[in-house]
A and B are shown apart, each in its own frame.
Chain A
């Protein structure tokens, strides 16, 4: 089946590059292999007929977030050379735990009777999603903007440099601030 082949191709790409993201001790290599992971996921979406998700995954994650990640990695100072090699004392328990989780999820996926939908020709989902976002799901849509605003305000609080002018204003304000606070 050519469909199966496509699926296994994308799945293999996702899993292998995902493993490399975790295992690589060079942060630039890790960031670049994340590109393939995200691309593989986009391929899986496309194969499932989720066209909108596939495009969004490509545009937002690969085109936006990943490029930002790579820029951040390149522009920040990274200690020379690779990260220090870690011993097996952590890798072994982590690997066992990961295998157990995989076994559990595998059993769940294989052992469950999933409700199935009759497979038809895939239809474009963009119009449906657009209508949904503006009608039934308009509230979560707006609510997500609050979540994003919170994230933006938070980022500004945590990384904003203190302007030198503010220090001067601080001194001027010392008396005023004292009376404001009880």
Chain B
């Protein structure tokens, strides 16, 4: 490790670290508030909401900022960090709104409501740090903070057998994959003698490591990172966890930690592993995994009859699409990923929110129980149609624009076969997304089907998510600009 990269952090560094500081502060305040004002979950809820909105407002300033390392050179703030801060704050706000009116979280018999909101704040801060790590030590710590909080949130409904099983599976899979990743990190440190990304990159550029050891490092690291983004073959936990966890938590998991995992992967692979491309073709490795991920996710999703499980497999498939853009190593591919992550967050949160809203009255996520919803709850069903169209990638929705940029980036680099596999996969996905639509509109509800009142807050949130999903399909310029600005100073390209 060269000496010039070592810095001693001082208080002024916190200026560049404000959104995270706010989220961690909100976490502590929410915990304290919950202790002082007992049995009023509105206190932690309000604290965390205020924190997320503050972090959101603070994050925009950094979009055009050049790269700057802070806190001992272990954390980097640049446009991309700002973009992910914005994304995670938005996800946190949406998750809070979804949770607040959800019976699964706020039901009379639930405990620890305050801690639930506190953990959302902690995870949001942790995901932001994941997007900013530029050191193997921070990579591991930030990943572990998010993982530990996820295990707890998955097991939040602790008197539910399904939730306990989900949490336990998550812990065991998570512990094993992070152990495997740690072994990979130790090999990488042994090869390069450095913990910072810059040091690792320099050592690799100078020829450290031979093909076999570098390939082993890549595979071991992908076990840990692939687990976070639910990439085949490290996806086993996802369907069970998404199904067993409270639905608002599944919604959060399917967008938040996944996006954070991508942010971490982008920064790590783009910065450090590029000089090693001549010795280990990790781009091809990821291309193969990308094809496996989207194909597996889509094919298995076709057979699902539980909507939560179906959405879990769909989120695996989406990780596959995103991986396509990831291995392009171009600014265009990176912009496409960022834009797609934003769009994906909107539409996937929306689809999960629909499930949450219905679960309050139906107490079920079975597809058969969605029969006739198009007439029993016309507005919500119409918005669900928007999300489903967008998830498939049909115009005029945001999902179409997102996929368009993604596929364009892949084609420009000449990976035609990959793009073709992606398009074929989108066709498969049309089948199962439309299965939901068909059940809602063309299957008659049984005569004794219960009414499905939807909480006003859920209506509002549905509109807040559906409107941009449609709007971005027509006027995407402003948001695409956000992604473009985030990448402009990304020096690793």
A105 CB → nearest B CB, Å: 7
Q: List 11 A-B residue pairs with CB atoms under 8 Å apart, sorted by A's residue number.
A: A111-B210, A111-B212, A114-B190, A135-B72, A136-B73, A143-B129, A156-B115, A158-B155, A177-B108, A180-B41, A181-B101
> Do residues B141 and A140 form an inter-chain contact, with CB atoms below 8 A?
yes
State whether the Cβ of B456 lies closer than 8 Å to any Cβ in chain A. Answer: yes
- CB-CB nearest in chain A for B111: A162
> Do residues A153 and B118 form an inter-chain contact, with CB atoms below 8 A?
yes
> Do residues A157 and B156 form an inter-chain contact, with CB atoms below 8 A?
yes
Which residue of the partner chain, among B71, B75, B216, contacts A108 with CB atoms under 8 Å? B216
> Do residues A138 and B9 form an inter-chain contact, with CB atoms below 8 A?
yes
A143 CB → nearest B CB, Å: 5
> Do residues A136 and B106 form an inter-chain contact, with CB atoms below 8 A?
no
Which residue of the partner chain, among B74, B152, B210, contacts A139 with CB atoms under 8 Å? B74
B60 CB → nearest A CB, Å: 24
> Do residues B149 and A181 form an inter-chain contact, with CB atoms below 8 A?
no
Q: A111-B212, A114-B190 are in contact. Are A150 and B106 (CB under 8 A)?
A: no
Q: Which of A3-11, A14-22, A166-174 contacts B (4 or more CB under 8 A)?
A: A166-174
- CB-CB nearest in chain A for B123: A150
> Do residues A105 and B7 form an inter-chain contact, with CB atoms below 8 A?
no
Residues 258 to 281 of chain B near chain A (Cβ within 8 Å): none
State whether the Cβ of A151 lies closer than 8 Å to any Cβ in chain B. Answer: yes
Residues 210 to 248 of chain B near chain A (Cβ within 8 Å): 210, 212-213, 216
> Do residues A146 and B145 form an inter-chain contact, with CB atoms below 8 A?
yes
Q: A138-B9, A139-B9, A153-B119 are in contact. Are A112 and B210 (CB under 8 A)?
A: yes
Residues of A within 8 A of B149 (CB): 150, 154
Main secondary structure of the interface of A (DSSP, over half): helix
Using CB atoms and an 8 Å cutoff, list the residues of chain B in contact with chain A.
6-9, 24, 31, 39-42, 71-75, 100-101, 106, 108, 111-112, 115, 118-119, 122, 126, 129, 135, 137-138, 141-142, 144-145, 148-149, 151-152, 155-156, 158, 167, 187, 190-193, 203, 208-210, 212-213, 216, 455-457
Residues of A within 8 A of B213 (CB): 108, 111-112
Which residue of the partner chain, among B74, B152, B156, contacts A140 with CB atoms under 8 Å? B74
> Do residues B39 and A157 form an inter-chain contact, with CB atoms below 8 A?
no
Q: How far is A136 from B213 in the complex, measured between Cα atoms in Å?
A: 30
Residues of A within 8 A of B122 (CB): 146, 150
State whether the Cβ of A107 lies closer than 8 Å to any Cβ in chain B. Answer: yes
- CB-CB nearest in chain A for B107: A181
Other contacts beyond A140-B137, A150-B148, A181-B106: 19, CB < 8 A: A104-B216, A108-B213, A112-B210, A112-B212, A112-B213, A115-B193, A136-B6, A140-B141, A143-B145, A146-B24, A146-B145, A147-B145, A150-B122, A150-B149, A153-B119, A154-B152, A162-B111, A169-B39, A182-B101
> Do residues B145 and A112 form an inter-chain contact, with CB atoms below 8 A?
no
Q: How far is A37 from B141 in the complex, measured between Cα atoms in Å?
A: 25
State whether the Cβ of A85 lies closer than 8 Å to any Cβ in chain B. Answer: no
Q: A144-B141, A153-B152 are in contact. Are A115 and B208 (CB under 8 A)?
A: yes
> Do residues B212 and A182 form an inter-chain contact, with CB atoms below 8 A?
no
Residues of A within 8 A of B148 (CB): 147, 150-151, 154
Q: A115-B208, A140-B137, A150-B145 are in contact. Are A105 and B216 (CB under 8 A)?
A: yes
Residues of A within 8 A of B190 (CB): 114
Q: How far is A170 from B113 in the complex, measured between Cα atoms in Å?
A: 13
> Do residues A170 and B138 form an inter-chain contact, with CB atoms below 8 A?
no
Residues of A within 8 A of B457 (CB): 182
- CB-CB nearest in chain B for A169: B39
State whether the Cβ of A113 lies closer than 8 Å to any Cβ in chain B. Answer: yes
Residues of A within 8 A of B156 (CB): 157
Most A CB contacts (10 A, CB to CB) among B75, B158, B213 go to: B213
Q: How far is A142 from B341 in the complex, measured between Cα atoms in Å?
A: 30
State whether the Cβ of A71 lies closer than 8 Å to any Cβ in chain B. Answer: no
> Do residues A174 and B191 form an inter-chain contact, with CB atoms below 8 A?
no
Q: How far is A154 from B74 in the complex, measured between Cα atoms in Å?
A: 27
State whether the Cβ of A102 lies closer than 8 Å to any Cβ in chain B. Answer: no
Q: How far is A127 from B41 in the complex, measured between Cα atoms in Å?
A: 46
B174 CB → nearest A CB, Å: 13
- CB-CB nearest in chain A for B155: A158
- CB-CB nearest in chain B for A148: B148
